[in-house]
C-alpha cells in the first residue's frame, strides 16, 4: 500500500466512495450524490492548506482517502483541523484507515496544526475503534445531530492534540501541504 497526495485523477474514485456512504449509510450526512467536479472544487479550494491523502494498493487501485478541512473559519481556530476518512468496502478492516490517518496526522503536525477534531455518527463501531486507536478522546456527543433515512442520528466528537498545548505554547503559522510533504517524504 502507498499513501500519496491526491491528484485530480482521484476525484472520480473519491466521489464514488463518498456516494456509497451518502446512499447507504449515516457515515456521511449528505443526501445528494456528489461528482468528480464537486470533489475537485473542494480539493482546489483547500488543498494548499489542508491535506487530501489517497491510499492505493500495490496494484495502484484506489483504497480510500483521508483529508483535513477547516473546523471553523474564525481566526483563533486556525490551528484546529477537522478530519474525514472514507474507505472502499473491500479495504475496510485491513489497516488502511489507521495507515491513512497516521500519515495525515504526521502531515498536519508538521504543518503546525495543534488540534484535530473528528465527528463519527453513532453507533459506528469500526469508525469509533479507528478514532480511539489513533489516541483520540471523546469530547462529547451531539444528540441528535442530523436526520437521515427516517431517523435522528447522533454524532460523537473526538479530539486529539498533535503537540504540546499549554499557556506557554505559541502556535506558529500554518505551513503549506506541499512544503511539509516533501520534507516528510524526501
Q: What is the C-alpha separation between 13 and 142, in angstroms, rounded?
A: 30
As a whole number, mean pLDDT of residues 37-56 equals 97
On average, the pLDDT of the chain sits at 96
Percentage of residues in the chain having pLDDT higher than 90: 92
Instruction: Report whether pLDDT(170) > 90.
Output: no
Q: What is the C-alpha separation between 54 and 58, in angstroms, rounded?
A: 13
Instruction: Report whether pLDDT(17) > 90.
Output: yes
- The pLDDT value recorded for residue 100 is 98
pLDDT confidence tier of residue 168, bands split at 50, 70 and 90: confident
State the alpha helices, DSSP H only, in 33-164.
Answer: 36-46, 96-111, 125-133
CATH (domain of 131): 3.40.630.30
pLDDT confidence tier of residue 32, bands split at 50, 70 and 90: very high
pLDDT confidence tier of residue 142, bands split at 50, 70 and 90: very high
Q: What are phi and psi of 97, to 5 degrees?
A: -60, -45
Please tell me the pTM assigned to this model.
0.95
The total number of structural domains in the chain stands at 1
- The pLDDT value recorded for residue 166 is 86
As a whole number, mean pLDDT of residues 88-114 equals 96
- The pLDDT value recorded for residue 164 is 85
Counted residue by residue, the chain has a size of: 186
Q: What is the pLDDT of residues 77-86, one digit of tens each?
A: 999 999 999 9
Residue 75's domain spans which residues? Answer: 2-185
Percentage of residues in the chain having pLDDT higher than 70: 100
Minimal CA–CA distance to 157: which of 114, 107, 102, 116? 116
As a whole number, mean pLDDT of residues 43-61 equals 97
Q: What is the C-alpha separation between 18 and 155, in angstroms, rounded?
A: 18
- The pLDDT value recorded for residue 34 is 97
Minimal CA–CA distance to 65: which of 155, 8, 127, 3? 3
- Gyration radius of the chain's alpha carbons: 16
Instruction: Report whether pLDDT(186) > 80.
Output: no
Instruction: Report whether pLDDT(44) > 80.
Output: yes
Amino acid at each position: 500500500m502507498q499513501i500519496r497526495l491526491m491528484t485530480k485523477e482521484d476525484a472520480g474514485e473519491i466521489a464514488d466512495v463518498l456516494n456509497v456512504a451518502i446512499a447507504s449509510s449515516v457515515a456521511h450526512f449528505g443526501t445528494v450524490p456528489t461528482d468528480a467536479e464537486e470533489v475537485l472544487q473542494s480539493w482546489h479550494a483547500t488543498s494548499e492548506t489542508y491535506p487530501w491523502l489517497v491510499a492505493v494498493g500495490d496494484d495502484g487501485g484506489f483504497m480510500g482517502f483521508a483529508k483535513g478541512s477547516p473546523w471553523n473559519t474564525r481566526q483563533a481556530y486556525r490551528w484546529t483541523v477537522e478530519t474525514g476518512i472514507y474507505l472502499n468496502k473491500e479495504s475496510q478492516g485491513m489497516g488502511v484507515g489507521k495507515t491513512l490517518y497516521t500519515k495525515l496526522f504526521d502531515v498536519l503536525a508538521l504543518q503546525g496544526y495543534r488540534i484535530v477534531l473528528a465527528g463519527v455518527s453513532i453507533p459506528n463501531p469500526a469508525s469509533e475503534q479507528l478514532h480511539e486507536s489513533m489516541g483520540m478522546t471523546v469530547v462529547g456527543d451531539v444528540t441528535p445531530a442530523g436526520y437521515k433515512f427516517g431517523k435522528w442520528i447522533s454524532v460523537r466528537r473526538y479530539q486529539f492534540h498533535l503537540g504540546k498545548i499549554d499557556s506557554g505554547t505559541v502556535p506558529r503559522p500554518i505551513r503549506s501541504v506541499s512544503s511539509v510533504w516533501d520534507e516528510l517524504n524526501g
